[in-house]
Amino acid sequence: MKDLFRLLRLGHSARGRFALGAALALVVVLANVALLGLAGWFIAAMAAAGLIGASMNYFTPSAGIRAFALMRTVGRYAERVVNHDATLRLLSRLRVWVYARVQPLAPAVLGHYRKGDVLTRLVANVDALDNAWLRIFSPVIVAACSAAAVLAFLAFHSPAVAWVDLVLLACVGVLLPVAAQRMGRRHAERAASVEGEVKAALTEELAGIGELTICGGLPAVAARVERASDDWLREQRAGLSLETAAAALTVLVSGVAITLTWWFAAPGVLSGAMSPLVLPLLVFVVLASVEGVQGLPAAFRVLDDTLAAARRVFALADEQPAVTERVSPLREVQSSALRFEAVGFRYPGGARDAVADLTLDLPAGAAIALVGASGAGKSSIARLAMRFHDPQRGTVTLGGRPVVDYALEPLRRQFAWAGQSTRLFSTTIRENLRLAAPQADDERLWAALEATCLADEVRCFDAHLDHFVGAGGMALSAGQARRLCLARAWLSPAPILLLDEATEGLDPRAARAIVERFVDGRGHRSLLWVTHQALGLDRMDEVLVMDAGRVVARGSHQELLQRSGFYRDMASRIL
Amino acid sequence: MNDKARARQASRWLSAQARAVRGPLTAAIGGHAVAGILLIPQAFILARLIDAVAFGHRPAASELGLTGGLLVVFVARALAAVVGAAAADRTGLLVQGRVRRRLLAQVPALGPLWIAARQPGALANTLVDGVKALHAYYADYLPQAALSVIVPGAILAAVFPVDWISGLVFACTAALIPVFMVLLGQGAAAMNQRQWRGMARLSAHFFEVLAGLPVLQAFGVGHAEEKVVTKLSEDYRRSTMRVLRVAFLSSFALEFLSMLSIAMVAVLVGFRLFWGDIGFTAGLAVLLLAPEFYQPLRKLGDAYHARLAAVAAAEDIADIMAEPIATGRGRRGLRPDGAFTVVFEDVTYRYPGASRDALRSVTLRVAPQEHVALIGATGAGKSTLMNLLLGFMPVTAGQIIVAGQRLDELQPEAWRQTLAWVPQRAHLFAGSVADNIALGLHDCPRAAIVAAAERAQARAFIEALPQGFDALVGEGGAGLSGGEVQRIALARAFLRDAPLVILDEPTASLDVESESAVVAALEQLRRGRTMISIAHRLHTVRAADRVIVLEEGRVVDRYSPQQAVVRDTAGWAPPRGAS
């Protein structure tokens, strides 16, 4: 619950709207109670007046009936608008807040969350929190207030009827839904886990369909999917039966309560303690009072999930970033000379050092390649340079100052980066490129596309630079996405080109052309080239061969060909 | 197909599914209808009881018969509700089961290439969540749509004889409701649907920003994106509220009409009682029935979202069910003894919807026990050639002849038993290592599995795993390196002992050490078998007997491996590297 209140506090600025929304929702329920109660009293009064031929002031009650009808209608509309607006404001605030909290966690801390679908779940969890106000807080407030008002009114006329109504509201609003949920929890949990099983088995069948088709293993996997699917339906059925039983019991309990209302009110009418006109009024009020607690079953249903969603969102948002800026950090970088001095680094929880005792000097304008098998620690060097992590030993300096002295964003803007993943944003080619240089004009964008042999292909798209790259770049081929990432780095005005396995999976010919372009056409920029492909190494000022976090050989391409067998092997294996 | 046409197709498909569950659907409507119609005797008995006490001045105990009757009505309504709800749930579950079974049969039949062209995760979502979204349509929306006609109709029929004026009020407002609903509802529905997509887009964007944070951080623009998130969220809120203000109008109209009519009925009944036109029991019963008259319509409004979700899901499902199944019509068996000849004769292939051929008149003869390597830039046709040979798609023109028989006349299963395939990145299935090696083979002796692993250079690392051959791999299983996975895939090929092996550069994603182990295993595998491989690595070319160069769908050259290696430095690939 603490998390839900914390969530509401985030929506602090909309608290006037929340209060108004709850008040309006209460008006809607009470207007209905008043309307029906008054109508019952009115027709009884009119009938009584008709019987004895008395005159009667029918203006006031009939005006009251119309007023309550209007109040309910307008109130309902206003309540829905106000409550939805408040909810959307809360969600909007929450999204921005979560982003601001999660942003410094990337990529170091967020890396742990990449596994599985934690991010998908985070987004779904944020979306699920719209329940917090609309389906939990607001209905609970309305139920409590309307029940209090109705019960007070009933108790004034007949304490017995008030007790009957209290039991009715408790049963319909709390006992039955809670019982159904308690009993159904096991089914709900089983259903959720079987659903996950169906999804996992199915995803596996689809992902491995080629091999299953060739090897003939399809029937066995398909049977597993069908079995899980049938189990799932069974669990769903069990859960639904409980809901049905709860609904039927609600009908029964309401019936008994109405009958008892009549039964307990009757003696009062006969003894003259209560006006006969009040009897229909009480029956109508009891009937209408149930509406006040109608939101509660749904509130109980979503409570667990919403609590869990809030817990997960806050758990991630409360993570500590791996690196923090110091107080009043430097915002200007004097020179682009990058130095690693005896740097040692181990990932949190890692079994061995990812980088051990590394010294590396990349003067402004120089070109250095880091080669080695995957897991040799090459990419960790790139991450340390951009300060995604801080090393445990030694220092990384840029322009003669330790990188920890700089503010994070100006520091990272010194690097034109292209990495192993080809993550693009679901927008146009132009916008994807401009991430690196927001002010760049089309001429510069085309030049960047030329540099990565992509311009001709982009010209083939109808919309040219405005071509939409699809969700996460899915509408481009893997090679095109890769080269677009490289073009993005090329476009960046940053003084250090940092390419981390950025030609992985490219056609060897294209990879070679791009590497040569990057090396020869880079101008004054320095280049840190992380690779396990033996491309363009002869053009580098220095090549560092890495293994298990250590530099095992360093020198020029020619020297290494003579000295290092490992290097010779690697250089000879690319087609 | 545009959105409207797709939505129409989806609606038609949804109706077609309803025909198969007519029985339980009728029971659901029947049960709920009985529960709804019983409201009429309930109202009259209750009115009678109140009349007896308030105006008859009789003690409650004198009305035991009627009281009992009232309780019986309540019990009957509860029972009818149980029958109705149980039948409704059965309807929904039957549809879920039926549709999912049909999809599970259809999707694999569409073939690996059709599936690969989509995201397995997205397809799985359609088959799991999409099908589940159908439930509420059949269990809630359809019954409620029928009830919103039946129950008000019954109440109207009961009210008219006792108080025709109130009946008229009900009838008039009931007639107005559809008019209002259509006027306001249609526009709102379209806007609503767009808004749902807007919500999905906003979530997708939020996900993308979070997933793309490493990139944003690398370019030092993480803070700038915060403004974008704020702006998109606020834009979404404003546009949603614009839509909701209109969308809520339809429920406003319903509420307005029902409240207006209850107020009118109350006042009119009051005056007619005053004038002595009708009895109190009748008047009170009518007033008790007034809110119930509109209740089914209100519930229909609540179930409307279920309809929207079901239509959205049905669009995807109907698309999948409408896909034609293309491959695998042959009937002949195949029993080759040992390696056989594979011949491509003038084979042309064009992908559906493509403007040019992916393969153009390719003629190629692979002798028994020969090892042929295919090279060429991406898009040159290597994968197309391989997929044709695997039988994943039929040739557009020409023919493939294997062991003297036309491939398209062979039974797909028979053909696949004669070949083994190792893709670039082999897939491990949830299960033990042994299960993965013996994929598709029943009751395979452990000794044979171990022997296959041994020959694939995989035995040592498998036995080093905590449970050895019984170690669990795949989703949630032990992590194996890329090279280890590929060697398990090679072990599969050894175990199947197929005369033809098709390889898609199985060392493409491996590092040096893993690569040399896989290369050694491949050397073993090729003995006595015909091998056709797509080559990205020099050693694959060196190991081949013959190298075929493909360019833009044609065979442009045939070399010996030595020539290919020499020519590599000159550059065999097309002038501009398309990837």
Instruction: Categorize the per-residue pLDDT at B353 as very low, low, confident or very high, splitting at 50, 70 and 90.
Output: confident
Strand segments (E) across A470-531 = 496-500, 526-531
- Smallest Cβ–Cβ distance between A269 and the set B53, B119, B426 belongs to B53
Is residue A358 helix, strand or coil?
Answer: strand
ipTM of the complex: 0.81
| Cβ neighbours of B210 in A, within 8 Å | 99, 102, 110, 119, 122-123
The residue in chain B having the minimum alpha-carbon distance to the alpha carbon of residue A567 is B512
Q: What is the DSSP letter of A406?
A: B
From B68-82, B111-125, B293-307, the region with the lowest mean pLDDT:
B111-125
A115/A161: higher pLDDT = A161
Angle, CA of A469, A472 and A477, to the nearest 5°: 55
Is residue B363 within 8 A of residue B369, CB to CB? The reply is no
Instruction: Categorize the per-residue pLDDT at B478 as very low, low, confident or very high, splitting at 50, 70 and 90.
Output: low
From A280-289, B147-156, B198-207, B295-304, the region with the lowest mean pLDDT:
B198-207
Residue A287 tokens, joined = 């009937």
Q: What's the CA gap between B360 and B377, in Å, rounded?
A: 16
Q: Which of A472, A419, A410, A332 is nearest to B221 (CA)?
A: A410
pLDDT mean over B79-99: 95
Mean per-residue pLDDT over chain B, rounded: 83
Angle, CA of B475, B479 and B481, to the nearest 5°: 125
| Cβ neighbours of B251 in A, within 8 Å | 76-77, 80
Instruction: Categorize the per-residue pLDDT at B576 as very low, low, confident or very high, splitting at 50, 70 and 90.
Output: very low
Residue A74's contacts (CB-CB under 8 Å, 6 or more residues apart) are: none
Residue A335 pLDDT more than 60?
A: yes
pLDDT mean over B99-110: 90
Q: Which of B451, B452, B449, B481 is nearest to B465 (CA)?
A: B481
Residue A228 pLDDT more than 80?
A: yes
- B308-323: per-residue pLDDT in tens? 888 888 988 998 898 8
From A194-208, A283-297, B358-372, the region with the lowest mean pLDDT:
A194-208
From A63-67, A226-230, A297-301, A473-477, the region with the lowest mean pLDDT:
A473-477
**Is the CB of A513 less than 8 angstroms away from the CB of B577?**
yes
Is residue A418 within 8 A of residue A407, CB to CB? The reply is no
Is residue A354 within 8 A of residue A346, CB to CB? The reply is yes
User: Residues of chain A with pLDDT > 90: what percent?
Assistant: 26
- Residue of A85, A211, A291 best to disrupt the B interface, most CBs of B under 10 A: A211
Q: What's the CA gap between A109 and A7, in Å, rounded?
A: 23
- A273-321: per-residue pLDDT in tens? 999 999 999 999 999 999 999 999 888 888 888 888 888 888 888 888 8
Residue B328 pLDDT more than 90?
A: no
Q: Is B68 on the interface with A (CB under 8 A)?
A: no
Angle, CA of A112, A115 and A120, to the nearest 5°: 105
Is residue A510 within 8 A of residue B579, CB to CB? The reply is yes
pLDDT mean over A40-67: 91
From A189-198, B114-123, B383-392, B559-568, the region with the lowest mean pLDDT:
B559-568
DSSP notation for B14-48: HHHHHHHTHHHHHHHHHHHHHHHHTHHHHHHHHHH
- Residue of A112, A195, A206, A501 best to disrupt the B interface, most CBs of B under 10 A: A206
Residue A368's contacts (CB-CB under 8 Å, 6 or more residues apart) are: A360, A362, A527, A528, A529, A540, A541, A542, A543, A544
**Is the CB of A123 less than 8 angstroms away from the CB of B206?**
yes
Q: Which of B543, B525, B341 is nearest to B422 (CA)?
A: B525
Q: Within 13 Å, how many C-alpha atoms sit on residue B128's CB side? A: 24
Angle, CA of B236, B242 and B243, to the nearest 5°: 90
B571/A62: higher pLDDT = A62
Whole-number pLDDT of residue A243: 87
Is residue A481 within 8 A of residue A469, CB to CB? The reply is yes
Model's pTM, two decimal places? 0.79
Is residue A191 within 8 A of residue A235, CB to CB? The reply is yes
Q: Is B420 on the interface with A (CB under 8 A)?
A: yes
- B244-278: per-residue pLDDT in tens? 787 788 778 888 889 999 999 999 999 999 999 99
Alpha-carbon torsion (B372, B378, B380, B382), positive or negative: positive
The residue in chain B having the minimum alpha-carbon distance to the alpha carbon of residue A270 is B57
Instruction: Categorize the per-residue pLDDT at B485 as very low, low, confident or very high, splitting at 50, 70 and 90.
Output: confident
Helices (H), B212-279: 213-218, 222-274
Whole-number pLDDT of residue A414: 86
DSSP notation for B338-407: S---EEEEEEEE--TT-SS-SEEEEEEEE-TT-EEEEE--TTSSHHHHHHHHHTSS--SEEEEEETTEEG
Count Cβ atoms below 10 Å from residue B487 Cβ, excluding itself.
29
- Ranked by mean pLDDT, the top range of A81-95, B137-151, B220-234, B559-573 is B137-151
- A445-486: per-residue pLDDT in tens? 898 888 888 888 888 888 788 888 776 676 777 778 888 888
Q: Which residues pair with A339 in a beta bridge?
A: A361, A397
Q: What is the distance in angstroms between the Cα of B5 and the nearest Cα belonging to chain A?
A: 23
Residue B578 pLDDT more than 60?
A: no
Instruction: Categorize the per-residue pLDDT at A64 as very low, low, confident or very high, splitting at 50, 70 and 90.
Output: very high
